[in-house]
Amino acid sequence: MVKEESPKVDNVILTTVRGVIRKLTGWLFDWARGHSPWYLHLGIMCCALEIPMAVGAPRFDMERWGIFPPASPRQADLMVVNGPVNKKYARNIKILYDQMPEPKYVVALGECAISGGPWKGSYAVIEGVDKIIPVDFYISGCPPRPEVFLDFLNKLKKLTKQRKV
């Protein structure tokens, strides 16, 4: 058996200091994060018309709550997967997920992303995105209405501020 080397003293001190700072100031980060959840929008199918387009359009206008879909996964707190995940596409979802910074949440939006929906039993579709990446929230609907998504985001904001997520 290989003997494990003990961690260097410098590292131990650094991690401890960092941990203490996190613990003391964590509420500040969560408070800030709770104000503007930016989500990576993985538009695959129908829900893509409702969730970034209709929600971003003048009627629902999500930017008034500080919600915005950045173009890059590296700026996102939240990943919204909508639509059926195909066997050809699966690894791309994992690549995008790994690029997101911590803390990160994943939302499976719509029936296809939850369980395969109408495409259940197809040779090409994976039944649910939770087989590829861990999913934190499920929103049902085919497609869900824009109001549902806005309601979800506002609840998420509240939970983040209360440090419950």
Partner 1 sequence: MSLEEPISPNDVFNAIKNKFSNIIKESEIVDDKHLIQFKIDGKHIVSFAAFLKDEMHFIYPLHITAVDYPEDNELEMVYHFVKVNMPYLVRVKFRVPRDNPSVDSIAKVWPAANWFERETYDMFGVKFRGHPDLRRILLPQDWVGHPLRKDYKMDEDYHWEKQVKEYYNPYEEKGWLGVPVSDTEMIIQIGPQHPTLHGTWKLVIKVDGDTIVDAWPDIGFIHRGIEKLAEQKRYEQILPMTDRLCYATSMEGNVLYIQLIEKLMGIEVPLRAQYIRTIALELQRITSHLLWLGAYMGDLGTYHAMFLYPLREREYLLDLFEMLTGARLTYTYPRLGGVKADIPDGWLEKVKKTLDHIEKHLPEYHDMTISNEAFVMRTKGVGVLPKEVAAKVGARGPVLRASGIKHDTRKTEPYLIYGDLDFEIPTCKDGDCFCRYLVRVEEIMQSINIVRQAIEKIPSGEYRAKARAKAVEGEASARIEASRGEYLMYVVGRKKIQPYRLAIESPAYMNISTVPYMLRGARYADLAAIVGSIDVCMAEVDR
Q: Interface residues for partner 1 in 7-66 (CB under 8 A)?
A: 42-46, 48-50, 53-54, 56-59
Identity of residue 141: G
User: In the bound complex, what is the minimum distance in angstroms from residue 36's beta carbon to partner 1?
Assistant: 19
Q: Greatest CA separation found in the chain?
A: 65
75 near partner 1 (CB under 8 A): no
User: In the bound complex, what is the minimum distance in angstroms from residue 86's beta carbon to partner 1?
Assistant: 6
Contact letters (x/-) for partner 1, 82-101, by CB under 8 A?
-xx-xxxxxxxxxxx-----
Q: Interface residues for partner 1 in 98-117 (CB under 8 A)?
A: none
Q: Which residues contact 154 (CB under 8 A, 6 or more apart)?
A: 65
Of the two residues 46 and 165, which places its CB atom closer to partner 1 in the complex?
46
